[in-house]
Amino acid sequence: MIIAVDGPMASGKGTIAKALAAHLSLPHLDTGSLYRATGVAVLDAGVSPEDHTACAALARDLDVSAIDEARIRTAQAGAMASKIAAIPAVRDALFEVQRAFATQPGGAILDGRDIGTVICPDADVKLFVTADPETRARRRWAELTASGETLSFDAMLEQTRERDRRDAGRSDAPMRPADDAILLDTSSLSIDAAVATAIRIVEKRQKA
Ligand code: C5P
């Protein structure tokens, strides 16, 4: 069973994907961490995101077993991830690792932006998790300020909108729901309610 969970930043897709993985005892890959880790590598190397060849080389050299969780979760890493994610050669470099994870025996759950459309168009269940930009900005702002970052809510809202524009507007693998994805809007749902809804959707599909 392959489950694809896509959606914009702070929509709740990661939390939902993790909870589904625990509920179904399936391995889970947060594909955003691959783009974030590449973004950190680009920052560390002092490479410009305009230098597509160098960014793609860093993506190819990424050691997925040595990703520094704390470093990839900063706003700076997220912003750079979204810039380098628009480079087709970077996406190509990260394709195989995602595809291999998805097709392991027993199945898997992957969350990201293009899982249902590009990485696993053959997924058994596709969820597209959304929430309005204000709600998402508030969630991410609370996380970042709790981890010690100082930025205003207005700046966070602007970053959220900018990230949405870039992720949905790029020509290669833009963020969009697959035609056969089920939409789940978490704007007015608690985490528990969102997770319970996702579990219901998947179990209904399994029965069908
Ligand atoms: O999901 P997360 O916010 O960690 O992703 C960081 C960035 O990585 C996204 O804004 C997006 O540009 C990129 N990404 C992507 N495709 C994926 C996962 C993430 O383009 N499957």
- pLDDT of 197-207, one tens digit each? 999 999 998 88
What CATH number should be reported for the domain whose range is 2-202?
3.40.50.300
pLDDT tens for 115-139 read: 999 999 999 999 999 999 999 999 9
pLDDT-derived band at 66 (thresholds 50, 70, 90) equals very high
What whole-number percentage of the chain has pLDDT above 90?
95
**Between vectors from CA 49 to CA 61 and to CA 82, what angle results, nearest 5°?**
85
The alpha carbon of 32 and the centre of ligand 1 are apart by a number of angstroms equal to: 4
Region at 184 (left for phi over 0; alpha for psi -120 to 50; beta for the rest): beta
Task: Extract the tokens encoding 205.
Answer: 């599909």
pTM: 0.95
- Which residue CA neighbors atom 16 of ligand 1 most closely? 113
> Whole-number mean pLDDT of the chain?
96
- Which residue CA neighbors atom 5 of ligand 1 most closely? 32
pLDDT-derived band at 194 (thresholds 50, 70, 90) equals very high
Mean pLDDT of 152-160: 95
- Helix, strand or coil for residue 35? helix
Query: What is the model's pLDDT at position 47?
Result: 97
Mutate to test the pocket of ligand 1, among 35, 36, 101, 128 (most ligand atoms within 8 A of CB): 35
pLDDT-derived band at 22 (thresholds 50, 70, 90) equals very high
Report whether 186 contacts 194 (CB < 8 A). Answer: yes
- Ligand 1 neighbours by CB, cut-off 6 Å: 9, 31-32, 35-36, 78, 81-82, 85, 112-114, 163, 167
Terminal-to-terminal C-alpha distance of the chain: 13
- Which residue CA neighbors atom 14 of ligand 1 most closely? 32
CA distance 56 to 138: 33
